[in-house]
C-alpha cells in the first residue's frame, strides 16, 4: 500500500474544504457531483479527509441558512466568520435577508456569553491581542489574548481589587503597605503588597505564578493564615474542587507569553491547547479525551498557533487536520 505523507494529507484536507464550499454553492449540479465522486475515489486520503470534514455538526447545522444567503459560515471562538461563496454565474444575486438571518443565528449560538463578559469587564482583549494597562494606583497589567478583567480601586476600605473574568494577566504591583492588592479568579484570591506575578483562569483550574516578591494564595474570603505563600519561581494550581498542585519554574519563564512563547512543563495537552486557542482565530477541536490527559514539555511559538499545535500533537503521535482555515481537529490517529 502506498504510504500517505503529511503533504498528501494536507492536500486532501485543503481539497475537501474546497469541495465543501462548491457542493454548498451548487447542490443540484450533477456534473459537479460526478467530479466530486471521482475525486473521492481517486485516493484513500481523499475519502478520509472528506469523512472528517462531514463530522462537524456545528457547521452542518448552519448550512440551510447559509445556502440561502450564498455564504459559508465557519465557527470561531469569537463568533463566526461569514464567507461569500464564489458565484458560478454573473446573474447570481445575493440573498441579503437570508444573510442577516445567518448572522443572527451566529450571534445566538456564539456571541451571547462573550457579550455578557464584555458587559462585566473594564478591559477586554481579542484573539492574539496583548494589551498593557496602567491602573489608577500606578500598577501595571499585561492582558493576554482573549482575556478580561474588572477593576475596583475607588473604595479605600476594600483596598485594590482586580477580578480576572477570563484568560490570563500579568501584574506588576506598585507597593502600598496600607492597601493590599488582590486578584480574584473564580473562587481563588491572590494577595500582594508589591510584586510581579501571573494569574491564569482555565476551565479546570486557576494558576498563580510568581516572577518576583511574595504572593499569598487562598480561597476567596478565607482567613489569611490559610493562604499558601509563594516566592519567585513558584506556582500553584487550584482546581475547581479545591485541590492544589505546587511547583517551581525559572522566574524568567513566568508569563512567557509576553515574549510570544508558550512554555509547558509536564503540562496536560488539553490545558496547553486551551492556552493556544486564545491565539488562533478559529476553533480547535480535541476529539480524544485520553489524549487531553497526556503531558508535554517544551516551548512553542505563539506567533504560529497552527505550527505550535502540530508540535504539541507530534509528541504523542497525534494528528492535526485543517478542515477549514478556521477549524483545526486534533485526533489520536
CATH code for the domain of 313? 3.55.50.30
Domain boundary residue, one of 183, 217, 249: 249
- pLDDT average per 10 residues of sequence, the chain (333 residues): 61 75 79 91 85 54 45 42 45 41 42 61 93 94 95 78 95 91 94 92 91 92 82 92 89 94 92 93 86 93 96 93 87 83
Residue 278 and residue 163 in one domain: no
Q: At what angle do helices 44-54 and 6-25 cross, to 10 degrees?
A: 50
Residue 302 and residue 288 in one domain: yes
Q: Can you spell out the DSSP letters for 316-330?
A: TT-EEEEEETTEEEE
For residue 255, tell me if it sits in a domain.
no
Residue 116 and residue 159 in one domain: no
Residue 311 and residue 204 in one domain: no
For residue 147, tell me if it sits in a domain.
yes
pTM of structure: 0.67
- Domain hosting residue 275, numbered range: 260-333
Query: How many CA within 13 A on the CB side of residue 242?
Result: 5
For residue 1, tell me if it sits in a domain.
no
For residue 254, tell me if it sits in a domain.
no
Q: What is the pLDDT of residue 55?
A: 53
Residue 140 and residue 236 in one domain: yes
Domain boundary residue, one of 249, 283, 304: 249
Residue 299 and residue 330 in one domain: yes
The count of domains in the chain is: 3
Beta-bridge mates of residue 228? 217
Q: What is the pLDDT of residue 310?
A: 96
Residue 179 and residue 284 in one domain: no
Retrieve residue 209's grid coordinates: 505564578
Alpha-carbon distance of 204 to 268, in angstroms, equals 11
For residue 136, tell me if it sits in a domain.
yes
For residue 213, tell me if it sits in a domain.
yes
Q: What is the pLDDT of residue 154?
A: 72
Alpha-carbon distance of 162 to 286, in angstroms, equals 32
Beta-bridge mates of residue 71? 84
Alpha-carbon distance of 321 to 333, in angstroms, equals 10
Domain boundary residue, one of 102, 120, 138: 120
Residue 269 and residue 326 in one domain: yes
Q: What is the pLDDT of residue 146?
A: 92
Q: What is the pLDDT of residue 288?
A: 80
Instruction: Specify the DSSP class assigned to residue 22.
Output: H
Q: What is the pLDDT of residue 113?
A: 47
Alpha-carbon distance of 250 to 261, in angstroms, equals 14
Residue 293 and residue 193 in one domain: no
Amino acid at each position: 500500500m502506498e504510504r500517505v505523507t503529511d503533504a498528501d494529507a494536507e492536500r486532501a484536507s485543503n481539497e475537501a474544504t474546497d469541495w465543501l464550499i462548491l457542493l454548498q454553492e451548487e447542490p443540484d449540479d450533477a456534473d459537479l457531483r460526478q467530479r466530486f465522486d471521482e475525486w473521492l475515489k481517486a485516493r484513500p486520503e481523499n475519502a478520509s479527509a472528506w469523512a472528517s470534514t462531514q463530522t462537524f455538526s456545528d457547521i452542518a447545522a448552519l448550512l440551510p441558512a447559509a445556502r440561502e444567503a450564498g455564504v459559508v459560515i465557519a465557527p470561531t471562538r469569537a463568533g463566526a466568520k461569514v464567507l461569500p461563496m464564489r458565484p458560478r454565474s454573473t446573474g447570481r444575486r445575493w440573498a441579503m435577508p437570508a444573510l442577516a438571518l445567518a448572522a443572527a443565528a451566529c450571534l445566538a449560538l456564539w456571541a451571547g456569553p462573550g457579550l455578557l463578559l464584555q458587559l462585566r469587564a473594564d478591559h477586554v482583549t481579542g484573539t492574539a491581542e496583548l494589551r498593557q494597562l496602567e491602573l489608577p494606583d500606578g500598577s501595571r497589567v499585561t492582558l493576554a489574548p482573549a482575556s478580561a478583567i474588572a477593576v475596583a480601586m475607588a473604595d479605600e476600605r476594600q483596598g485594590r481589587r482586580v477580578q480576572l473574568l477570563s484568560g490570563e494577566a500579568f501584574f506588576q504591583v506598585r507597593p502600598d503597605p496600607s492597601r493590599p492588592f488582590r486578584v480574584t479568579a473564580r473562587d481563588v484570591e491572590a494577595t500582594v503588597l508589591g510584586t510581579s506575578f501571573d494569574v491564569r483562569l482555565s476551565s479546570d483550574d486557576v494558576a498563580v505564578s510568581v516572577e518576583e516578591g511574595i504572593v499569598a494564595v487562598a480561597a476567596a474570603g478565607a482567613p489569611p493564615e490559610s493562604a499558601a505563600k509563594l516566592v519567585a519561581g513558584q506556582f500553584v494550581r487550584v482546581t475547581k474542587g479545591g485541590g492544589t498542585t505546587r511547583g517551581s519554574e525559572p522566574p524568567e519563564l513566568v508569563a512567557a507569553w509576553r515574549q510570544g512563547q508558550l512554555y509547558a512543563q509536564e503540562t496536560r495537552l488539553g490545558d496547553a491547547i486551551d492556552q493556544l486557542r486564545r491565539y488562533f482565530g478559529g476553533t480547535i477541536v480535541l476529539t480524544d479525551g485520553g489524549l487531553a490527559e497526556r503531558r508535554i514539555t517544551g516551548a512553542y511559538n505563539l506567533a504560529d498557533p497552527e505550527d505550535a499545535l502540530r508540535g504539541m500533537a507530534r509528541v504523542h503521535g497525534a494528528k492535526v487536520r485543517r478542515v477549514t482555515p478556521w477549524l483545526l481537529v486534533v485526533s489520536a490517529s
